[in-house]
Amino acid sequence: MSALILAGLMGMVGQGARTVVGLKKLHDSNATQPPDQATTFLASRLVISLIIGFIAGVLAALAIGLDKLTGAAGATVEVLLGLAAAGYAGADFIEGFMSKAPAITGGAATQTSTGPTGSPREAVPPQQTEQADRLIMQTSQLSTDIASLQSVLATSAASSNWSSLSAVTQITPELVARLFVPATPLANIRNHLPHVLAGLRSYGLADRDMLLMALATIRAETEGFVPIDEMKSKFNTEKTPFDLYEPGTPIGKRLGNTQAGDGALFKGRGFIQLTGRDNYTRIGTQLGVDLVAQPAQANQPRIAGLILAQFLANKEDAIRAAAAADDLVLARKLVNGGSHGLDRFRDAYTKGRVAIPEGIEIWSGDSGGTYPVPSISPRFFASSPPT
């Protein structure tokens, strides 16, 4: 309700701006007109026009989505100005504020009628009767004016960015949780989702395919929705931790590890499990972060979100093509280098297609609220060890 009231008030502001314009026109016109043709201002019509401004603001808010007024960050300046503009656009009705009226002095004719007892009523100047009739006619056109305003809003939406606002779906931690298992703590999603969305948004990866790619990758790599270190397993450790990643091993060679200790130093980290000296060097250079000197930075939530987005952006064309062909095996391989976690990846991606509609974009990524949706774009992906 408070959002609708705010929208209505902003619409009235727009009407008020139009009133100022009308009053200036009235003043300029009166300055050049004879006294007997003075233009008068009708306060009653101003009230009706402000009501229309209020309705215009409410209609505009419904058109763009009330979430633009109630989100975590609140209404932006652009949204408020848009609501005022809608009120201004609906103010053609304000032209009715001004009406020409002959002077009522100097022998002007009056109309006299009698009451029930035959006593004369107060004389009513004919021009006031005409003004009342016009007011009634204009009031009866209110529904028509509203319909016209809706048309104006639709036209404005096509020429501005409003056309997509009404279709925007809000990405919430609760919605994202549907793509993960019940064991994934909701608190983790709430804490880290903003960093993931901010990373995607910063690379222009704000469509559903890329968002699903990012979320499904997190599900496959770090199901807890937390940027973490890779754990020891049969795929990375034979005798000492991560010795299968050391220089001279097949995996170590593919990962670009060249110095003793690189296996453990450049083990998988972050949301995407960035692995290997080559990948830490390449992605770090692209981000402007020295991940080689300080590889643990890959687990910092903000940087982890950027690494995920950069990784996807590096192979964006190939990933989009795989998604369009519904080839999730290839999509997973483009990121992982193999099929590790494919079942989890497929499950999350499939659930996301049902839960998140098409035509969405990420609009915000501030912590603790709702986040209108993004997508992914990959250009180069680091290769994780296949399973």
State residue 180's pLDDT score: 96
Q: Quick: pLDDT tens for 317-339.
A: 999 999 999 999 999 999 988 88
In this structure, the dihedral spanned by the alpha carbons of residues 56, 59, 61 and 62, taken in order and rounded to 10 degrees, is 180
Contact 371, 194 (CB under 8 A): yes
The residues, any chain, with a CB within 8 Å of residue 241's CB and separated by 6 or more, are 232, 263, 264
Residue-wise pLDDT tens digits, 250-272: 999 999 999 999 999 999 999 99
Mean pLDDT score of the chain: 74
pLDDT at 296: 97
Please give the average per-residue pLDDT across 367-385, as a whole number. Answer: 36
Q: Which DSSP category does 39 fall into?
A: E
| Domain 170-230+268-379, architecture per CATH | Orthogonal Bundle (1.10)
237: helix, strand or coil: coil
Query: Of the given ranges (70-79, 196-205, 264-273), which has the lowest mean pLDDT?
Result: 70-79
With a cut of 80, say whether residue 114 has pLDDT above it: no
Q: Is the pLDDT of residue 310 over 80?
A: yes
Q: How large is the average pLDDT for residues 45-54?
A: 75
In this prediction, residues 194-221 reach a mean pLDDT of 93
**Residue 137 neighbours by CB under 8 Å, 6+ apart:** none
Locate the domains of the chain by residue range.
2-103+130-166, 170-230+268-379
Predicted confidence at residue 3, as pLDDT, reads 73
| Between residues 99 and 379, the one the model is more confident about | 99
- pLDDT-derived band of residue 167, with 50, 70 and 90 as boundaries? very low
Is residue 74 within 8 A of residue 68, CB to CB? The reply is no
End-to-end CA distance of the chain: 54
Could you report the per-residue pLDDT of 215-252, keeping only the tens digit for each? 999 999 989 999 999 999 999 999 999 999 999 999 99
Alpha helices, H only, 141-276 = 142-159, 173-177, 186-202, 208-221, 250-255, 262-265
DSSP category for residue 269 = B
* Alpha carbon of residue 129 to chain centroid: 51
Residue 294 CB neighbour total at 10 angstroms: 12
The answer to whether residue 141 scores a pLDDT higher than 70 is: no
